């Protein structure tokens, strides 16, 4: 299939580039960095061509020329040393990868398969985590087909798409070359999860040295995070066993995510990597950038700083929070590295490399930030001060005591982190400087309307903190040698550290919800095949919208579940939709105002606006009808193929 061939071509070129640029690194690292680079190029090159050619097959054809040119330049500028061979260290890493990363990759693949538009009797099912966010990403991916760039929000026509969209446009690219929507989301999603799981293990090994088991512990702490929420569920469960059953059958009743109990440390696998594709794509580039930066600060090689900048500069349109977190971490690590270098010549070399990294990164990132992120973050007072994140919700005062909030949310890893900081040497202090640069800013400043979104910064802090915790856990293990109870202590630590995360993941595995009915799927198929791509639809504001999500058509106004938290002004569109549905005969001007071509009437519109079919039959001609879904033709445009 053409889509898979294109994907493999980019991955192969990415691996070749890293083979030529970093021949001294292990095959593990070259392969991982190469795959990340290949996906980066597949997301960016077609998007750049789309600014003149639309996001079309033609743009992707020209992007291949860009890929060939970049690959040729990488070859001409190659490091001519021989490539490193597989050695004993790589074998040790393989064993840890098989024990830790591979099961996580299989878990990720299963969740992608079952939680992204899984067909069942004509319906499309999802899981708990993907019931909400997935619709936004589907709508972006489907609406970008043959779209002019810069694109608009399909759920608010005329508003520029300020949300980072490159992770979704990757799915669009695969759709343009033959994959259906489901597999265009599942395949890159699974691949990116595999790169994130593998990448963190490799980063941990680079930071912690050749201690694969410590790297494995850091990965488990990160991906099975969840805090002490399980204690609330198991408390008094002997008298009321339903408290435990509720974990697996309730909607968002998992131990890691219970806002009513001020538990906000959602599990990374179940609640972030799976549903939030921008964060998934962002972490796929963030981890190589962190690895390359850490290595560059140690080796002070310009080539490493240059490669770091290329990953970093590509981040804003994938995930702006990851870019900010990387910048803060880079600042902390850079200052410590400069302070610790005693040799003046080496310090100058390091300063020159950091200057190259900063200048090139900002040259690439600023156009993205100015055109997209700044306009959204600075508008309407979104950027604001607030101490202690969700524990001080709305600035109305702390809900829990400061240390108790973090202890019950992060779990025993937070306590061990405090101990590690008290017992830190220069290496641990340098590592902590990067992580706590993120922590400090995230504790003081909110960057989105939804204060919960600051967790996307805190999780990068925790990504670094988990390395410190795993490192210190080994120190304690050795210091407790000879103490028979150390196995009990280790088991208690593991139970408290992993129970909430494990239960949250288990709940996600068994969750199953119908997202789109068979009638909604049929309606979307008709819209996709029989209406113009630039047609405008009048629909309700439900987030489960087959016209916007599955067919990628523009609607007058989408759900405020997305629009409000993206900082968009949509009140007029929303009000116009409401008055039209409530009294269509006397509000036909709404159709003219928004150049509406079609009107959708389903159970959602009937329930939200208390309308009846007879009102629409008297005014418009139905062009599609199946079950609860009726589509009316509203404008003078003739039906035709897209």
Domain ranges of the chain: 1-81, 90-127+185-510, 517-633
Q: Are 150 and 160 in contact (CB under 8 A)?
A: yes
The residue behind tokens 């709404």 is: 590
Q: Compare 270 and 642 and report the one with higher pLDDT.
A: 270
d(CA 305, CA 313): 12
How high does pLDDT run on average in the chain? 93
Q: Answer yes or no: is pLDDT of 430 > 60.
A: yes
Can you tell me whether residue 512 is helix, strand or coil?
coil
pLDDT digits (tens, 9 = 90+) for 242-301: 889 999 999 889 999 999 999 999 999 999 999 999 999 999 999 999 999 999 999 989
- Is residue 640's pLDDT more than 50? no
Q: Can you tell me the distance from the alpha carbon of 521 to that of 626, in angstroms, rounded to the nearest whole number?
A: 10
**Taking 80 as the threshold, does the pLDDT of residue 513 lie above it?**
yes
For residues 172 and 57, is the Cβ–Cβ distance under 8 A?
no
Q: Do 567 and 159 form a contact (C-beta atoms < 8 A)?
A: no
Q: Over range 393-399, report the average pLDDT.
A: 91
Give the helix, strand, coil percentages of the chain, each rounded to 5.
65, 5, 25
Please give the residue that has the higher pLDDT: either 120 or 373: 120
- From first CA to last CA, the distance across the chain in angstroms is 23
Supply 493's token pair: 């630590």
As a whole number of angstroms, the distance between CA 438 and CA 102 comes to: 29
pTM score: 0.95
User: What percent of the chain shows pLDDT beyond 90?
Assistant: 85
Burial of 242 (0-12, 13-18, 19+ CB in 10 A): exposed
Q: Using 50, 70 and 90 to split pLDDT, how confident is the model at 1? A: confident
Measured between alpha carbons, how far is 277 from 171 in angstroms, rounded to an integer? 11
Distance, CA of 38 to CA of 10 (rounded, Å): 5
Tell me the average pLDDT across 427-439: 95
């Amino acid at each position: 299939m053409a889509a898979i061939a294109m994907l493999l071509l980019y991955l192969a070129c990415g691996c070749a580039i890293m083979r030529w640029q970093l021949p001294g690194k292990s095959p593990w690292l070259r392969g991982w960095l190469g795959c990340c680079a290949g996906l980066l190029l597949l997301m960016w090159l077609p998007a750049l061509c789309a600014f003149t050619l639309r996001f079309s097959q033609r743009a992707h054809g020209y992007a291949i020329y860009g890929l060939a040119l970049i690959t040729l330049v990488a070859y001409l500028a190659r490091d001519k040393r021989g490539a490193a061979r597989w050695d004993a260290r790589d074998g040790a890493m393989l064993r840890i990868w098989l024990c830790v990363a591979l099961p996580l990759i299989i878990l990720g693949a299963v969740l992608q398969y079952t939680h992204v538009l899984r067909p069942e009797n004509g319906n499309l099912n999802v899981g708990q985590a993907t019931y909400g966010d997935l619709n936004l990403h589907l709508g972006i991916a489907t609406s970008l087909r043959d779209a002019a760039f810069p694109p608009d929000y399909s759920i608010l026509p005329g508003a520029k798409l300020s949300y980072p969209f490159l992770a979704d446009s990757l799915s669009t690219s695969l759709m343009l070359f033959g994959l259906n929507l489901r597999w265009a989301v599942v395949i890159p999603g699974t691949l990116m999860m595999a790169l994130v799981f593998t990448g963190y293990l490799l980063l941990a090994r680079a930071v912690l040295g050749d201690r694969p088991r410590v790297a494995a512990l850091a990965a488990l702490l990160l991906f099975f995070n969840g805090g002490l929420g399980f204690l609330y569920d198991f408390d008094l469960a002997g008298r009321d066993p339903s408290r435990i059953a509720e974990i697996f059958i309730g909607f968002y009743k998992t131990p890691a995510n219970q806002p009513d109990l001020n538990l906000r440390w959602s599990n990374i696998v179940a609640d972030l990597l799976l549903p939030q594709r921008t964060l998934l794509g962002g972490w796929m580039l963030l981890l190589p950038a962190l690895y390359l930066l850490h290595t560059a600060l140690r080796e002070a090689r310009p080539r490493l700083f240059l490669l770091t900048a290329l990953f970093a500069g590509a981040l804003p349109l994938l995930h702006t929070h990851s870019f900010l977190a990387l910048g803060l971490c880079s600042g902390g690590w850079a200052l410590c590295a400069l302070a610790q270098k005693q040799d003046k010549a080496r310090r100058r070399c390091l300063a020159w490399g950091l200057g190259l990294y900063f200048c090139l990164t900002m040259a690439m990132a600023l156009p993205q930030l100015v055109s997209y992120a700044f306009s959204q973050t600075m508008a309407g007072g979104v950027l604001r001060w607030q101490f202690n994140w969700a524990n001080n919700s709305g600035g109305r005062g702390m809900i829990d005591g400061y240390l108790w909030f973090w202890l019950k949310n992060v779990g025993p890893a937070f306590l061990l982190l405090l101990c590690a900081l008290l017992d830190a040497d220069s290496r641990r202090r340098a590592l902590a400087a990067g992580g706590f640069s993120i922590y400090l800013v995230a504790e003081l400043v909110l960057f989105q309307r939804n204060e919960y979104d600051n967790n996307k910064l805190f999780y990068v802090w925790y990504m670094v903190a988990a390395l410190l915790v795993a490192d210190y856990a080994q120190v304690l293990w050795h210091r407790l040698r000879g103490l028979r109870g150390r196995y009990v202590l280790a088991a208690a630590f593991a139970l408290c550290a992993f129970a909430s995360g494990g239960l949250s993941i288990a709940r996600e595995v068994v969750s199953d919800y119908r997202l789109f009915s068979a009638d909604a799927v049929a309606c979307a198929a008709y819209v996709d095949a029989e209406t113009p791509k630039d047609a405008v639809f009048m629909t309700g504001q439900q987030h489960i919208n087959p016209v916007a999500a599955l067919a990628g058509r523009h609607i007058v106004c989408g759900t405020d579940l997305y629009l409000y938290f993206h900082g968009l002004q949509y009140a007029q569109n929303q009000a116009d939709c409401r008055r039209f549905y409530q009294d269509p005969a006397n509000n036909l001007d709404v159709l003219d105002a928004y150049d509406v071509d079609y009107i959708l009437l389903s159970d959602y519109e009937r329930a939200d606006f208390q309308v009846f079919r007879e009102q629409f039959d008297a005014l418009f001609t139905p062009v599609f009808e199946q079950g609860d879904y009726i589509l009316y033709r509203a404008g003078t445009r003739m039906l035709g193929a897209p």
